[in-house]
Amino acid sequence: MSMALIIAIAALVGVIALAAGFYIWTRYYEARADRTFMTQDERGFKRALAGKVVLWDYEETVVKGPTAPHIEFVGLDPATGGRRNVKLMDPKTGAINLRPHYCAPLAFEAVTVDSHKVIVEARVQFSLNRELLKHVYEIQEFSFALETRIQSAFRSEIGKRHDEELRRALHDVERNVIENLRRSEEEGDEAGERGMALGVRFHTANFSYTQPDDFNVGAGVPALPPNATPEQKQQAFALAAAARTQGVLALRPQQLDLLSDVFKDRDPAATAAILTMLEMQTRQNIAEALASSGNLIVVTPQELGLIAASAQRDAAMARTGRPAVVAAPPPQNGGLHPVETRS
């Protein structure tokens, strides 16, 4: 064998070895417990890598680049306390983060079984499931799907309870929400099952809530611009006056339910004090309504009930020096004209 042939064969073997080494180097991926890669071929998703892998099939490629799905979620920004989008896939390398994270959707409304609105602030800890990354690959908007499922689970659990029950059942709601989310993953991870899994492991759920001020009388009064016309000012004044003088008949069922919660499990002295304040407010509303009618109406504080019977007795004794007989409560017609003397 000539030396030239030997050199040619050696060069060919070297080139093949170099090409194989370069192929292995460019097609080698190392997945860990907290990181993996998705691969695809001409038919779509193929697998999620585990351990040290060389992609020998030239059709199999790692999912990355501008055509890769957007795998991100809404989390808290520790610097500002607001919300920010957190990416779970590196678009350059295709590496997917499998560590646990906290999803913090924007505050959303939920309604209790007795029609009370609550504003919910939820936090759900989750991590991507390596075994179900096929569903992550198929979902077009992963962040929106995750938020929707979290909100739906909280709304479902809150909607089963009264507002007074919700205060003492926070842990039960959180536990049931996690069970609901996990059940959705288990029931939608196979073909033909109802729903669709997100490819997520749910770990914990926490939430807090606030209730809108249902008795905010100024909520219906629009704010006036600096260059408001006299007509706009007059209309705003009328709305404010109507809001101040609204009576108990204007209360909605939800507001009455909140009032009943105030009286629940209270001692008689506290209940009596609250009832007295409500009665005084009602009488004040009557007086304001009479004053805003535009007619000249002369009434005494006694006729409106703004002075109690004991205060009337004390005032009479101070003037005359002897006990006075307090008149009977005014009749239902307001006390302006006794029934038997009306013309």
pLDDT for 217 beyond 50: no
Same domain, 194 and 266: no
Q: Whole domain around residue 288: which residue ranges?
A: 232-341
Measured in whole angstroms, the distance separating CA 133 from the mean position of its chain's CA atoms is 28
Residue where the block lists tokens 């064998």: 1
How distant, in Å, are the alpha carbons of 83, 185, 269, 277 from that of 266? 41, 45, 8, 16
Residue 163 lies in a domain: yes
End-of-domain residue from the set 210, 245, 275: 210
How distant, in Å, are the alpha carbons of 39, 60, 84, 94, 129 from that of 90? 14, 19, 16, 5, 17
pLDDT for 332 beyond 80: no
Same domain, 290 and 188: no
End-of-domain residue from the set 146, 177, 210: 210
Residue 218 lies in a domain: no
Compute the half-sphere exposure of residue 142: CA atoms within 13 Å on the CB side of its CA: 24
pLDDT digits (tens, 9 = 90+) for 173-197: 999 999 999 999 988 767 666 678 8
Instruction: Provide the CATH number for the domain around residue 201.
Output: 3.30.479.30
151 closest CA partner among 170, 185, 177: 177
Residue 18 lies in a domain: no
pTM above 0.95, yes or no: no
pLDDT digits (tens, 9 = 90+) for 109-138: 999 988 888 999 999 999 999 999 999 999
pLDDT for 202 beyond 70: yes
Same domain, 194 and 273: no
Q: Pick left, alpha or beta for residue 162 (phi over 0 → left; psi -120 to 50 → alpha; otherwise beta).
A: beta
Same domain, 105 and 201: yes
pLDDT for 85 beyond 80: yes
Same domain, 202 and 72: yes
Residue 81 lies in a domain: yes
Beta strands in 70-191 (DSSP E): 72-76, 83-87, 96-97, 101-103, 108-111, 117-128
Residue 134 lies in a domain: yes
End-of-domain residue from the set 180, 210, 240: 210
Same domain, 245 and 276: yes
What pairing do the DSSP bridges indicate for beta strands 52-54 and 28-30? Answer: antiparallel
Residue 224 lies in a domain: no
Same domain, 205 and 85: yes
Helices (H) and strands (E) in the chain, counts: 10, 13
pLDDT digits (tens, 9 = 90+) for 3-26: 777 777 788 888 888 888 877 888
Same domain, 169 and 280: no
Same domain, 177 and 269: no
Is the distance from CB of 102 to CB of 113 less than 8 angstroms?
Answer: no
Same domain, 137 and 96: yes
Residue 157 backbone dihedrals phi, psi, to 5 degrees: -75, -40
When divided into structural domains, the chain yields a total of 2
Residue 124 lies in a domain: yes
Q: What are residue 61's DSSP bridge partners?
A: 40
- The pLDDT of residue 176 is 95
Same domain, 92 and 138: yes
Residue 132 lies in a domain: yes
Residue 89 backbone dihedrals phi, psi, to 5 degrees: -125, 130
